[in-house]
Chains A and B, each alone.
Chain A
């Protein structure tokens, strides 16, 4: 929590340096946010190598399109996270990704399949999982799809066979639940 507060304090500075293309800011930005952003990416793309590629692409894009960030529209992290999510979903739907699935060698495939089936016991996700597990199952299902799998709410509605409005409400309720947990 303290780390989080410290970040919020420095955010305007970060934005200012980022937009003036101060080379040193990238390292700071990376050390502050790379693991949080990688957390988002690696849940959408379970293949480590590809996920790390997307992480790199994300920071390249953050660096190159810093001028487009408008702090009146939202937080820096939201902007960065959405870049990461969009690149991840693009990657997930790309030929590249589909080929990489075909080309898994056996060694990688074991852990890949494990990750796919969430059989492994990943300590990084443990706390969150518990947190999300506290949600009601129907809220959890929606949040799983949208946050972990990179689904849009329209896709989630199709997948869960629910009206769009219901999916939207459940996303909202899930996030309210999260807000309550954090506060």
Chain B
């Protein structure tokens, strides 16, 4: 009896010990030096490892470490399409020791669509926007459709018959197809997958007719498909023969923008320090060449411009969603 009690006491002690340790790790980040940064910075990716945000961060890491003079630790806090991470950032300490991937349209759509997203878009303090992955639309290499017009023409006379593969609901791909439907008065059947990879396999396996995909996937698989349009304002460098939506008379751009943000109320001088570092990385010619090779478009938007951009995008997305009855 006595023995069992002792075991239980030890177990409870261990439990408490673990919780205290974890709680400590959770809330670590007390010391505030005079000259930011004085200790390692966590660069949190709010998605599972292996994705585009992750790969880009891994590329940036050595440059950032050299520029900031401290270690940059890449961590992953995945869940709820990124919302878990962003909610934690919104509630985080304004000390600049946690920077997090800040993806558009995700951070705009989630709080619009869900009351319980756990954060508001304006709570995440934008630092720098370094990359855009344009979204394009493609059909199979042997498809009867050779132009976007062909596809739209067919979709208009056969509402719902054309299946479109894309990643996620209320995601960039979903938004792009909604926009296209809205502008052309067509109806497609959107088949959401749980990520870019399964969406690509659904298309490559010929389970769907059309693919909405990020430019890097389009670039990698361009031999197996006809890319009909891409969501940039000017022609997209790695795919110079593909017309934009705008060229084809459709006033739409589509893409995923990637940047970083910090917790609300982070002092401006800390934001500025990070902004400078990210600017230096992004304008580094070696880094740029690496991004180009992977089919990413680099951007150089500082904190203020990034904030204005988010505001502008929020307006656009709100309009689209409202007109579509999604809000």
Whether A associates with B in a native complex is: no
Interface, chain B (partner A; CB < 8 A): none
